[in-house]
């Protein structure tokens, strides 16, 4: 379902402006950033995802007749989207400008940045530029959709420059919770734009390569038109802990587990975390089994491309774990967010076919719940404890660190880049607002800060930043093999069915006389238990007979009128008797 953003310009607090949209903060200081040279040239940016939400990141850049895209991610559905598998961006604006699109650059291999790519490539075939590991993960996605042999994949590395029409883009290495992540320096006649991608500043990264702060600083000295920066952790003060600190925690917890079998649940994409688990397992003389399709794919791709060092003989097929004692096993699994179909959830509820938990298991949930997932994670923890399992979760120990920059790192990035304009991206409204406040504290002028919405298109030049219009953008729901065929009507029906159930009225009618030949039969699902509510069902049957008899006209054969009347009368009766509003579905067969 397309949810087009038709909003006119508003400021950060939702108040309308005439044509332009600016932040309304008070200026914090007179500190001036180094300004790019004056020019009449302008560049346009369209936000197609990742604004006022977590996930579904997608940004489009335009200069004259040249366009390119940064990232194409997905979001996972919440409880308001029953039955929906994935949420991807609306590609209408991209499709309408297909002839101008010169390529797409992917900053890193997380689902919220690559998950929508296959769906986009089915509509428009454009070259993909990404780093080595990211390309490896993208190949798996494209292979699932039978697109691998038809798409042009271009491998890039940090400090590489690529030219897409009038744009020249340099890749800049950043730290994140997955290797091979990059930020972008986007150069065109209008000036230089820095887009950080997801990043943090890790001085002791697991892969040994610290974020390329000198390169960001070099651009800052030359003059940067705008900075688009990751806002995910903008509410958190201080600095994000190094990923290496998690390894020390694993060492301590593995010793504490003693002779128990260890089960570690983590994000499937966190290759650094997987590496540290394998390293500690090897030092403790334990074999490692991996469960979960996405996690297995990451281990295979990471090992094949050299991003994961897996000692020979340490990995164990899950079917062989029964041949080893508990104190010689570590199981790495998905499900750190309590996802209903994940391996850890199935284990917790005794539904996993290959792993059964017992009091001799020691479960470590190496992740912090994403906002909105706390209840699901809590349910899984409760079920695990019912099995007598010892569970380490959330902040009991340092078993998880974020891959996103906290406030001091965000300010450091601004200080190095010294942008004229600042655009917080990648976050909900509270994250974007907090990040904007940080920019004000760094001396960026209040009128030079912009908080956008999905669908906003803005224009930047050395002289001005202005809101242009709203383009077609929003959400498209993926359900099974269907893309975009589930909309508000279907979702409302699903919500109503889940809330009050359904009553089906089935009757066979003589079309010439209108007499009921058989039925009406009343079928209830999710409403009441029929055997315990026979009086109610009999009343419904009598009502159906009366409505059909009163409303059917053999001359006009107007079944719609009969069905509408039956729905109205039966809904009214059910609400009066039960205070519930089930869906009413009449089914008439004529003979």
Tell me how far apart the alpha carbons of residues 146 and 127 are, in angstroms, rounded to a whole number: 16
- Strand ranges of the sheet holding 191-195, from the earlier edge strand across to the other edge: 161-164, 167-173, 182-188, 191-195, 224-230, 419-425
- Write out the H or E segment, with its range, that includes residue 172: strand 167-173
Pairing of strands 287-291, 329-333: parallel
Beta bridge pairs of residue 128? 104, 153
The answer to whether 2 touches 484, Cβ cutoff 8 Å, is yes
User: What's the distance, Cα to Cα, between the start and end of the chain in Å?
Assistant: 39
Nearest to 123, CA basis, from 103, 86, 96: 96
Tokens of 64: 């004259």
Non-local (6+) Cβ contacts of 577 within 8 A are 536, 539
Query: Exposed, middle or buried by CB within 10 Å (0-12, 13-18, 19+), for 241?
Result: middle
Give the Cβ contact number of residue 255 at 10 Å: 10
What is the rounded distance in angstroms from the CA atom of residue 420 to the CA atom of residue 83? Answer: 45
User: CA of 497: how far to CAs of 432, 492, 553, 567, 581, in Å?
Assistant: 36, 9, 31, 15, 10
Catalytic residues: 230, 404
d(CA 237, CA 214) in angstroms, rounded, equals 24
- Using CA of residue 260, residue 307, residue 68, residue 121, what is the dihedral sign? negative
Q: Is 53 helix (H, G, I), strand (E, B) or coil?
A: coil
């Amino acid at each position: 379902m397309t949810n087009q953003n038709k909003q006119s310009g508003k400021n950060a607090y939702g108040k309308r402006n005439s044509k332009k949209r600016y932040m309304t903060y008070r200026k914090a200081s007179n500190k001036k950033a180094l300004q790019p040279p004056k020019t009449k040239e302008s560049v346009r940016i369209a936000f197609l995802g990742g604004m006022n939400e977590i996930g579904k990141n997608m940004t489009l850049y335009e200069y004259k007749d040249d366009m390119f895209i940064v990232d194409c991610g997905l979001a996972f559905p919440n409880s308001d989207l029953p039955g929906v598998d994935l949420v991807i961006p609306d590609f209408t604006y991209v499709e309408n400008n297909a002839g101008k699109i010169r390529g797409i650059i992917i900053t890193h291999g997380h689902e919220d940045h690559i998950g929508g790519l296959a769906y986009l490539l089915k509509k428009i075939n454009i070259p993909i530029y990404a780093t080595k590991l990211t390309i490896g993960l993208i190949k798996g996605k494209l292979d699932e959709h039978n697109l691998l042999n038809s798409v042009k994949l271009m491998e890039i590395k940090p400090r590489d420059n690529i030219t897409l029409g009038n744009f020249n883009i340099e890749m800049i290495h950043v730290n994140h919770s997955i290797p091979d992540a990059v930020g972008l320096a986007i150069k065109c006649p209008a000036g230089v734009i820095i887009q950080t991608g997801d990043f943090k500043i890790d001085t002791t990264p697991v892969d040994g390569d610290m974020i390329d702060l000198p390169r960001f600083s070099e651009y800052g000295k030359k003059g940067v038109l705008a900075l688009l920066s990751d806002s995910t952790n903008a509410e958190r003060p201080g600095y994000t802990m190094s990923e290496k600190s998690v390894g020390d925690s694993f060492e301590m917890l593995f010793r504490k587990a003693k002779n128990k079998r260890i089960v570690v649940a983590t994000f499937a994409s966190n290759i650094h975390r997987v590496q540290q688990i394998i390293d500690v397992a090897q030092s403790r003389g334990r074999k490692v089994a991996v469960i979960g399709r996405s996690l297995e794919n990451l281990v295979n791709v990471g090992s094949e491309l050299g991003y994961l060092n897996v000692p020979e003989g340490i990995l164990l097929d899950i079917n062989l774990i029964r041949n080893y004692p508990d104190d010689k096993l570590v199981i790495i699994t998905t499900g750190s967010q309590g996802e209903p179909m994940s391996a850890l959830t199935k284990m917790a509820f005794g539904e996993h076919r290959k792993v059964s938990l017992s009091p001799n298991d020691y479960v470590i949930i190496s992740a912090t719940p994403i906002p909105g997932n706390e209840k699901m994670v809590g349910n899984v923890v409760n079920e695990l404890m019912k099995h007598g399992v010892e569970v380490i979760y959330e902040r009991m120990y340092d078993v998880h660190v974020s891959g996103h920059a906290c406030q001091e790192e965000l300010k450091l990035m601004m200080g190095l880049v010294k942008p004229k304009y600042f655009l917080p991206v990648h976050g909900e409204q509270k994250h974007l607002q907090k990040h904007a406040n940080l920019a004000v504290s760094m001396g960026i002028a209040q009128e030079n800060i912009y908080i956008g919405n999905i669908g906003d298109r803005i224009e930047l030049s050395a002289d001005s930043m202005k809101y242009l219009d709203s383009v077609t953008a929003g959400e498209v729901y993926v359900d099974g093999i269907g893309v975009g065929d589930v909309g508000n009507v279907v979702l409302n029906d699903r919500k109503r069915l889940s809330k009050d159930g359904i009553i089906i009225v089935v009757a066979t009618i003589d079309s010439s006389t209108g007499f009921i030949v058989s039925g009406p039969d009343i079928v209830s699902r999710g409403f009441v238990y029929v055997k315990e509510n026979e009086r109610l069902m009999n009343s419904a049957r009598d009502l159906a007979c009366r409505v059909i008899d009163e409303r059917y006209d053999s001359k006009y054969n107007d079944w719609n009128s009969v069905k509408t009347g039956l729905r109205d009368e039966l809904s009214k009766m059910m609400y009066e008797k039960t205070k519930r509003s089930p869906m009413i579905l009449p089914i008439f067969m004529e003979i």
